[in-house]
């Protein structure tokens, strides 16, 4: 696990991250069986480093990061382990050795509590019980089908289509290509001779300017035209060595072995290239500001979206985000020409090129260098140098503007930055500027004064809310004196049933406490009316909880009034909408209490 994390793998619900999560969770569960109650597993990293750190220095360099990643996963799993084990114990309580746990129960453990099915199998095996694996697989397939139904293309064409002939990509420098050959047409994953108007399908060409989805960049869009029809390309992907074009026949028909002309939508490509190049500058800026421990965990780049995921334990401060944003925009303003070189992988790594963990690279790689050169540790280095086969701007200045719009955590040790470039960034800034101007006008303040003015108003509002709460408590205390006279006897028990005006839930608790100090061995039921809402509260002296429970009283009232509530035997509360039913429900409450107490 330590080596996986050192190499950039983190616990997740997909791929290698899911394998790592399963190993950790199995280990934690066995530690739990051996009596470990607190987090323990991450503490084993230190002796591992002591034993193997000399041979594997990356363990020493990343020890703190590895410990943090394992501890976070431990803590997260500990929260669900106890609940999951209770559910499993409940399911197994009615089974004996030789019985079978239903696939539905095993799937619920997996889906709700994160129990991998092999972990559930470990536990059941210890009791001589097996799992209905076919039933589990059926539930899993249902879930996968739901996920597929949410997408436009139900068929996984990339897996279904097998093309021996590789497609030549000619799109780095151009948006169109003429006289290409259609070498395959597919519909519903099956090869066909023709696609007609309105048909959804896939076209495979011998060469194409369309960039296939990869490296975080989405597939391109455009048109494929033949003498007999027009095909709208809505997405482009890879299938082995072939590039496949998903889309719909917009006009006429297309046939296998026809020649065609292709055209990529230029505006979409230009916007996508700006966003893709910006992710490289962002990655470099993150490492400069947050340290070399930052590594890319994924990205999504389209004409409208720039999303970058990276490894980092804490939320990035606003100050650091501002610095990162400034560094990227400095490189944009420098307007340095993008350099593209092809070399073998060892040369690229020697030059300091960053590679994305998990990506497969051939012997010859495409190295992208961006940004102004600077002196670092006495060596001249470019701002960004990475292995990348994607589409990029010719000069950093083509990006125009870079604006971070959000930063958030998406998994343990993984953060996400979303940003805009070019005209999208400008529109965002203009909208924010317009909102700030409107706010300043409303507050009758200068723009630099807006934040202080809003803070002052928020502080004032909190003071007023506290004052309102104090006044409500005074009102409640004033009413308490008169309520004592309304105590009645029901089934030989002292009972106070009352409606109080202008009291919300918070004030109700104070009023109940006040009444309890005045009335011993009493059942107290109060309904507060404030606007269109009712606050319900009940208190039962501990000497009487064997006869009736406060939670039962509130559940009865809430059910009758169309609300909800509950609580402990000696105190419970709830709420309901105010309605004409209140008078009749309150009138019948003594009779109901009589039936419960008799």
Q: Give the bridge partners for 414, in sequence order.
A: 311, 411
CB neighbours (10 Å) of residue 69? 28
Cα separation values, 160 from 148, 175, 221, 359, Å: 15, 28, 21, 22
Q: Where are the alpha helices (DSSP H) in 34-182?
A: 45-52, 57-61, 63-92, 103-113, 117-125, 133-149, 157-160
Question: CB–CB of 585/577 below 8 Å?
Answer: no
CA 598 to CA 596: how far, in whole Å? Answer: 6
Q: Give the bridge partners for 522, in sequence order.
A: 494
CB neighbours (10 Å) of residue 408? 10
If DSSP codes are grouped into helix, strand and coil, which group holds residue 86? Answer: helix
Both tokens of 578, joined, read 């105010």
Compute the C-alpha angle 243/245/250, nearest 5°: 160
Q: Which residues contact 257 (CB under 8 A, 6 or more apart)?
A: 181, 182, 183
Nearest to 382 by CA among 421, 417, 339: 339
The response to whether 280 counts as a known ligand-binding position is yes
CA 262 to CA 209: how far, in whole Å? Answer: 7
Both tokens of 52, joined, read 């193997």
Both tokens of 393, joined, read 């701007």
Torsion of CA 65, 67, 72, 78, to 10 degrees: 170
If DSSP codes are grouped into helix, strand and coil, which group holds residue 251? Answer: strand
Question: CB–CB of 537/526 below 8 Å?
Answer: yes
The response to whether 388 counts as a known ligand-binding position is yes
CA 196 to CA 228: how far, in whole Å? Answer: 10
CA 543 to CA 528: how far, in whole Å? Answer: 26
b (16+ CB within 10 A) / e for 252-281: ebbbbebebebbbbeebbebbbbbbbbbbb
Q: Where are the alpha helices (DSSP H) in 299-449?
A: 318-334, 345-350, 422-443
Annotated binding site for Zn(2+): 276, 280, 388, 392
Annotated binding site: 276, 280, 388, 392
């Amino acid at each position: 696990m330590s080596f996986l994390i050192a190499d950039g793998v983190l616990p997740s619900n997909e791929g290698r991250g899911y394998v790592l999560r399963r190993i950790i969770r199995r280990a934690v569960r066995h530690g739990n069986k051996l009596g470990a109650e607190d987090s323990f597993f991450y503490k084993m990293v230190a002796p591992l480093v002591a034993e193997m750190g000399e041979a594997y220095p990356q363990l020493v360099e990343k020890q703190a990061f590895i410990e943090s990643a394992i501890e976070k996963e431990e803590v997260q799993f500990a929260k669900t382990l106890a609940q999951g084990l209770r559910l499993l114990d409940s399911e197994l309580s009615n089974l004996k050795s030789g019985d079978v746990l239903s696939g539905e129960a095993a799937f619920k453990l997996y889906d709700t509590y994160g129990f991998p099915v092999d972990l559930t199998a470990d536990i059941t095996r210890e009791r001589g019980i097996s799992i209905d694996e076919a039933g589990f697989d059926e539930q899993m397939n249902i879930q996968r089908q739901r996920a597929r139904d949410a997408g436009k293309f139900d068929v996984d064409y990339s897996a279904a289509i097998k093309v021996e002939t590789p497609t030549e990509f000619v799109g780095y420098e151009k948006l169109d290509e003429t006289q290409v050959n259609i070498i395959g047409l597919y519909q519903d994953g099956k090869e066909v001779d023709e696609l007609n108007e309105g048909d959804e399908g896939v076209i495979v060409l011998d060469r194409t300017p369309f960039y296939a989805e990869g490296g975080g960049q989405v597939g391109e869009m455009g048109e494929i035209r033949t003498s007999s029809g027009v095909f709208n390309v809505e997405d482009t992907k890879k299938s082995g060595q072939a590039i496949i074009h998903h889309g719909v026949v917009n006009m006429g028909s297309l046939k296998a072995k026809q020649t065609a002309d292709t055209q990529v939508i230029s505006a979409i490509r230009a916007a996508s290239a700006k966003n893709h190049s910006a992710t490289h500058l962002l990655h470099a800026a993150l490492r400069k500001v947050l340290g070399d421990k930052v590594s890319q965990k994924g990205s999504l780049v389209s004409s409208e979206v720039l999303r970058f995921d990276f490894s980092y334990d804490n939320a990035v401060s606003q100050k650091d985000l501002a610095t990162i944003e400034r560094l990227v925009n400095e490189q944009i303003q420098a307007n340095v020409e993008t350099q593209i070189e092809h070399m073998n992988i060892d040369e690229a790594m020697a030059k300091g090129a960053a590679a994305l963990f998990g990506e497969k690279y051939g012997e010859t790689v495409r190295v992208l260098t961006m940004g102004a050169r600077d002196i670092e540790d006495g060596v001249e280095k470019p701002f960004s140098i990475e292995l990348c086969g994607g589409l990029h701007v010719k000069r950093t200045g083509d990006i125009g503007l870079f604006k971070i719009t959000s930063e958030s955590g998406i998994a343990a040790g993984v953060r996400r930055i979303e940003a805009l470039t070019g005209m999208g960034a400008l529109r965002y800034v203009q909208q924010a500027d317009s909102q700030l101007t409107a706010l300043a006008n409303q507050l009758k303040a200068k723009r630099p004064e807006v934040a202080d003015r809003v803070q002052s108003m928020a502080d004032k509002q909190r003071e007023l809310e506290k004052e309102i709460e104090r006044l409500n408590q005074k009102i409640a205390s004033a009413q308490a004196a008169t309520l004592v006279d309304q105590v009645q006897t029901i089934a030989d028990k002292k009972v106070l049933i009352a409606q109080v005006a202008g009291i919300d839930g918070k004030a109700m608790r104070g009023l109940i406490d006040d009444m309890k100090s005045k009335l011993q061995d009493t059942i107290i039921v109060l309904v507060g009316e404030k606007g269109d809402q009712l606050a319900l509260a009940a208190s039962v002296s501990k000497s009487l909880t064997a006869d009736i429970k406060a939670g039962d009283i509130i559940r009865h009232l809430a059910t009758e009034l169309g609300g909800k509530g509950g609580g402990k035997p000696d105190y419970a509360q709830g709420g309901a909408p105010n309605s004409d039913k209140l008078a009749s429900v309150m009138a019948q409450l003594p009779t109901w209490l009589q039936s419960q107490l008799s």
